[in-house]
Structure 1
Amino acid sequence: MLEAQLHSLQEAGIVDVTIIVGYRAEQIEAKLHKYKKDFNISTIYNPFYDVSNNLLSVWMARHLMQDEFITINGDDMFTADVIINLMKSKHNITMVMDEKEHYDEDDMKIIHHDGLVKEVSKQIDPAKANGESVGIIKFSGHGPQIYVNILEEMVRHPENKNSFYLKAIQEIINKGYPVHFSKCNPGDWGELDFHPDLMLIREYVTQTNLVAKIFDKE
């Protein structure tokens, strides 16, 4: 997974990478040594990984959120084109979004209208959703400061300890800041959770030819 992500980032021209680590951090950090020649790569350890969700992980990197940056879910696979297209956006905050015919209860669903994201949550009624968050977001211009301010507000409330970082995006929307989106093709990304049925994961990757798209584009 990590190898696929770094490969796509390199293809897209990104060399500055920070990885938030927690569970088995030593294994991840050991694996990163071979990428030192190609990337300016570093890690931040989240000591609360086993008692919190990814909003706190993102907050721990807030000191790096001064200029343009992209956040990426650790369980995403994606082609370089997803990142290249996202980087074309000139907006403060831009989410990568996929569209499909049907949405599941567990999807991080989106409701968008007139080019803007209006809602993002797993709790959205699947029948009302018209997009799915891929888990990749670009912040530029005023976006980084807006995001950091919201994160700082949210971590002060204990109920947000186990929140997804996309709850912060919804807070940004609720405060009236525009959040745009960049569409990607369904076959250009995949979310590979630790699913109990690994055959479903293997079947998805095979059907979409995602691995070949990532590594054969040279």
Structure 2
Amino acid sequence: MKAILLAAGKGTRISRMVKDVPKSTLPINGIPLIRHTVSMLLDTGMEVCVCIGYQKEKIKQALDGLPVTYYHNPFYDVTNSIASLWFARNEINDDMLILNADVFFSKEILSIILSDRHEVAIAMDTGRVEVGDYFFKTVNGCVKKYGKDLPREERNCEYVGMIRFNKSFTNKFCTEMERFINSQQHHRWWEETIYSMSEKTNIYTIDVKGYFWSEIDYFDDYERILAYLDGKL
């Protein structure tokens, strides 16, 4: 199995607070977040690839000594994560876990995700529907509607930041990603490749309700992680 982390973006919402520090390198108990994540993935025996762009040398420094493969998106400042993943497309040829590098999560969440046996499944949290970044409406465990502004009465879970799929799904995924790239839709999030297939393909979900996780979009998110690790949540 392979994992690809998306770590090329600047993170404009938090950049005013952290200056030129990539948010995936913020320290978690003295260890850069991305190093914490990559170490967990390597411990499972996965190959790990990292898509880099903004402050790429700082990402590499945070992962110094770890056996990872890098893919650089030189256009990170004018494209979105789908373009970053495109540079690593030749790695998408096995059972895959693709995730955003700015998400803190536990080994328990990783274990739950890796034990899922659907062809493709998205990690989500049914305990987070009031406030969040990106929401789904699921029916019988499958994604039916999605969006940042999905009305409260329609959404029933929040996206966690990672998607797992089997080797049998890789051709479908890459074909759809290529369609986006060829139509100059470089501004898309990589996940939109999956979302766009939900009308014709069952995109299952994996509920991690009850386990702590946090995406770092704002400095408050980072402080929430530190409070959790300090036993204050």
Question: What TM-score do you get using the length of structure 1 for normalisation?
Answer: 0.83
Query: In the alignment, does 2:73 pair up with 1:9?
Result: no
Structure 2 residue aligned with 1:30: 61
| 1:169 to 2:169 alignment | no
Q: How many residues align?
A: 199
Q: What is the percent sequence identity of the aligned residues? A: 21
Q: Secondary structure at the match of 2:162?
A: strand
What's the CA shift for 1:163?
1.2
The corresponding residue for 2:93 is 66
2:119 aligned residue (74, 92, 95): 92
Query: 2-side partners of 1:202 and 1:95: how far apart?
Result: 23
Q: Give the TM-score, by structure 2 length.
A: 0.78
Pair 55,202 (structure 1): closer, same or farther in 2 beyond 3 Å: closer
CA distance in 2, matches of 1:24, 1:101: 32
Give yes or no for the alignment of 1:111 onto 2:111.
no
Say yes or no: does 1:182 pair with 2:213.
no
Higher helix share: 1
Note the residue ranges of structure 2 that are not aligned, 5 or more in a row. 1-32
Say which SS state the counterpart of residue 74 (structure 2) adopts: coil
Q: 1:85 to 1:101 in 2, by over 3 A?
A: closer
1:73–1:135 contact (8 Å) kept in structure 2: yes
SS in 2 for 1:205: helix
Cα distance in 1 between the residues matched to 2:74 and 2:210 = 35
Instruction: State the distance in 2 between where 1:208 and 1:128 align.
Output: 30
On the 8 A contact 2:50/2:70 being kept in 1, the answer is yes
Name 2:74's counterpart in structure 1: 47
Using the TM superposition, give the Cα deviation of residue 207 of structure 1 relative to its aligned residue in structure 2, in angstroms: 4.2
The 3 A distance-change label for structure 1 pair 49 and 142 is same
Residues 141 and 18 of structure 1: CA distance in aligned 2, closer, same or farther (over 3 Å): closer
The verdict on how the C-alpha distance between 1:50 and 1:177 changes in structure 2, with shifts beyond 3 A counting, is same
